[in-house]
Chains A and B, each alone.
Chain A
């Protein structure tokens, strides 16, 4: 390190110390990484403290942890013999909180018992209509027929507690899906599909399906436990649940990380072998990347408490940009050959590399202004990773690469670079012709009308077709198809909440009759409001007790006088169930969601599709105490909103970087530095439109990256006195590695990632080609 000034040496030692520190922290935090692959987590959520956010959280908590399995074999007897062991093996895994195969173990309304339930209080709308419209004679005849036509008859307990069967009908509302499920000979829950009788198993995960450790153990437990079933004759296993979608998402992300990582690594190796011809340099090139990735992950885990899988994919690739620092160092050393002077090289590198880091970090940090949690993670990971890679290069390389290299530029490479420099000069000359600009403007005007955008989140995900088809089987077999949309009802107390729900029930029943939705479930079907209970009781008193229907029924059955008097007395007296007393007990996966939030009471009205969202949303607008919630539409709106915001921010970022560079290069120079990435972005955008691609927020995110990296290129070009070979070599190699990484992202099965990849791919190639425009005139 002879010849390095004191300040340079101080900077280098500081960098070396920081490198060691970050490496240590990165390695230590590896074991604590927690990955999240929920694509919706990429997007800004609601105000976390809103009731809607709480409803979403509670809904997701119960829905996302549920797993449904349907198992079948043509040998039903052996299937039944196998099931106890299957259930036991699944229960042994900590990953499952509950495993149920017997019908009543499946939970839901069957296991719920409302304290104080009395037929006079709990009447379905149908029973209210019946009591109001039928004559006493008709009511008695119907009740008698119901009791006497049943094989096996009825019990005295039933006669005493529910003489008309109205209470049983009310409780029937608590089991919307149970009608399709029956108990087979062995007591297992059975569902009849066209292919045969399947046994239904319901599993509840012990934690979030997004936890990778839980995913692994649950997947393993399921594979092991179901292996004996799969070995049975004509066995079939169907499954559904958020777990399988997250598992597929994780697998896809893993595969894509491997592809991107492998492609990137192979590209870098090939380049290093061809250009630098040194295994030592090849290994050394990965050190800043390794330190960068480790530091990036550690910072994201520490900051956010978890690492989003998209942040890992994008962040890793972005940190791969850190290879640029290495490339600039190596290129400068290789080009100098035996004349390599560390102090001189270090001095020449420190300004453009620092400026490059500064502008890249500024570019990435602009991601955070979009408000996307996922992209904020990408930005944080990239910034932390780049800084770590920068300090590694600036701290470690002077120690190891102080002496000149053993090899000079190879002859073919030298020829190639000289041609490249001439090509760049040609581009600069071409750019001075007004005709070119006129042509570009004409093309832009022609393509402009083709503008189209896409903000639909559903098109950006890629759930496996097999999972979707199994999902459809479950939906059609179990009947109701729970819609994503729901209605959130608010009240200041429990009684008010039930009263609102009563009104909603009435309106939704009418909407259901009009074919606007397939069905719905709400709390008032489990517990009517106090007012409704009183009305029910008055109706019951008038039409069942005072009219003599009950007395006549008991008489015609031949019930002894004493028993009849006792039954009539019991049916006459009932105590209104106060919601405050039972609200705490209204918990369970199958029950409508009810919760307290910031002193107010809320309940969710679930809807079954197919439904007319527009009509129902308009209906919900009529209730001042209720809100129509459509999570998908809300996400799409957010995507559109953030596409607009990100576009504005991109323009703002160019302006800010331009201002930042004005100090060093003056207004004209700064404009020249930002022009190439800006032009690359515009041409990419118009190219994609010309190819018929609709622009999404992910394209705009990619253009932010084009700005961040493209500015690096132009800074080096600007800092070179003229178009130097070492600069061309460094930015050329950087473009190839970046394009390799992001080009592979364009092949992703997830449209959002593919959009990002394809825009970065073309944007970076153009940014490289146009970079010479930044040179001094």
Chain B
């Protein structure tokens, strides 16, 4: 039932597009597991990391996607700063699992009950940055492309739980080397959310 929380969280963090041309398969062979472990090690090694993020929310009922942008930083121990700058300035700080929102100088603690979607978002994103497979596989089946793209790594997370699947069709994660570049959350309908990360400190913009 804890999945229920993530379901609620991720339903709000939902959306997504997916490239229909990519064929996916379950990452269950020994070779896949080794590659995923290598990838997790590379992602972990790249921490701490800081960069910019840009979010686009595509919804069928909207004439244009909603956009927001800001910057983020993730420490080696998993602590995170997530600062949205536009269209509204708001800061989220995650310290030892405790999520605090700072808005107009006022702090609010975010819990699974008072804001399940925000809580779930950080639960998932936090695990993606260092690929905590154990935590992710509690709720998702991890898939890899049949044909990997040169220079990029891609993963698809498909909900195991039916209730979670009602809100999220899949989460597609794309990265290069030891960093994450795109997270796309596809909802069961046409809506999706895409978050792009860039790392000016690494020469990316």
Which B residues are CB-close (under 8 A) to A145? 88
Looking at the complex, which one of A100, A104, A153, A157 makes contact with B57 (CB distance below 8 Å)?
A: A153
Q: Which of B11, B113, B132 has the most CB of A within 10 A?
A: B113
Which size class do A's interface residues fall under? 35 or more
CB pair B62 A152 closer than 8 Å:
no
CB pair B111 A180 closer than 8 Å:
yes
A557 lies within 8 A of chain B by Cβ: yes
Looking at the complex, which one of B6, B61, B111, B132 makes contact with A563 (CB distance below 8 Å)?
A: B61
Minimum distance in angstroms from A762 CB to a CB of chain B: 59
Minimum distance in angstroms from A446 CB to a CB of chain B: 64
Fill in one digit per residue for B5-16: 1 if any A CB lies within 8 Å of its CB, else 0.
110011111110
CB pair A104 B117 closer than 8 Å:
no
Which B residues are CB-close (under 8 A) to A151? 13, 55, 82, 84, 92, 118, 121-122, 125
A509 lies within 8 A of chain B by Cβ: no
Minimal Cβ-Cβ distance residue in B for A183 = B2
Q: Which of A106, A158, A185, A557 has the most CB of B within 10 A?
A: A185
Binding site secondary structure of chain A: mixed
B151 lies within 8 A of chain A by Cβ: no
| Chain B residues within CB distance 8 Å of chain A | 1-6, 9-15, 55, 57, 59-64, 66, 68, 82, 84, 87-88, 90, 92, 97-98, 103, 109, 111-115, 117-123, 125, 127, 132, 134-135, 138-139, 167, 185, 187, 189, 191, 193
- A77 to B92 alpha-carbon distance, docked (Å): 27
CB pair A179 B111 closer than 8 Å:
yes
CB pair B55 A189 closer than 8 Å:
no
CB pair A103 B4 closer than 8 Å:
yes
Minimum distance in angstroms from B100 CB to a CB of chain A: 13
Which A residues are CB-close (under 8 A) to B10? 152
A187 lies within 8 A of chain B by Cβ: yes
Looking at the complex, which one of A104, A172, A181, A560 makes contact with B62 (CB distance below 8 Å)?
A: A560
Which B residues are CB-close (under 8 A) to A110? 4, 113
A159 lies within 8 A of chain B by Cβ: yes
Which B residues are CB-close (under 8 A) to A627? none
Minimum distance in angstroms from B62 CB to a CB of chain A: 5
Fill in one digit per residue for A546-586: 1 if any B CB lies within 8 Å of its CB, else 0.
00000000000111100100000000000000000000000
Looking at the complex, which one of A148, A172, A557 makes contact with B68 (CB distance below 8 Å)?
A: A148
Looking at the complex, which one of B2, B88, B193 makes contact with A189 (CB distance below 8 Å)?
A: B2
CB pair A175 B88 closer than 8 Å:
no
A197 lies within 8 A of chain B by Cβ: yes
Q: A156-B59, A181-B112, A182-B111 are in contact. Are A187 and B97 (CB under 8 A)?
A: no
A102 lies within 8 A of chain B by Cβ: yes
Could you name 7 residue pairs across A and B whose Cβ atoms are closer than 8 Å?
A: A159-B61, A180-B111, A183-B112, A186-B138, A187-B6, A559-B63, A560-B61
- A105 to B118 alpha-carbon distance, docked (Å): 21
Which B residues are CB-close (under 8 A) to A148? 66, 68, 87-88
Minimum distance in angstroms from B148 CB to a CB of chain A: 27
CB pair B119 A150 closer than 8 Å:
no
CB pair A152 B113 closer than 8 Å:
no
Which A residues are CB-close (under 8 A) to B98? 192
CB pair B62 A188 closer than 8 Å:
no
- A188 to B167 alpha-carbon distance, docked (Å): 21
CB pair A172 B132 closer than 8 Å:
no
Looking at the complex, which one of A152, A157, A192 makes contact with B121 (CB distance below 8 Å)?
A: A152
Which A residues are CB-close (under 8 A) to B191? 155-156
Q: A148-B68, A178-B113, A186-B135 are in contact. Are A153 and B15 (CB under 8 A)?
A: yes
CB pair B60 A156 closer than 8 Å:
yes
A154 lies within 8 A of chain B by Cβ: yes
- A110 to B63 alpha-carbon distance, docked (Å): 34
Looking at the complex, which one of A104, A182, A186, A559 makes contact with B97 (CB distance below 8 Å)?
A: A182
Q: Which of A153, A155, A186, A187 has the most CB of B within 10 A?
A: A153
Minimal Cβ-Cβ distance residue in A for B56 = A153
- A150 to B118 alpha-carbon distance, docked (Å): 7
Minimum distance in angstroms from A570 CB to a CB of chain B: 13
- A152 to B122 alpha-carbon distance, docked (Å): 9
CB pair A188 B2 closer than 8 Å:
yes
Which A residues are CB-close (under 8 A) to B14? 152, 155
Interface hits, A708-760 → B, CB 8 Å: none
Looking at the complex, which one of B2, B90, B193 makes contact with A104 (CB distance below 8 Å)?
A: B2
Interface hits, A149-205 → B, CB 8 Å: 149-159, 172, 175, 178-189, 192, 197
Q: Top 6 nearest A-B pairs by Cβ distance? A: A104-B1, A152-B13, A187-B2, A185-B135, A178-B113, A104-B4
Interface hits, A105-157 → B, CB 8 Å: 105-106, 110, 145, 148-157
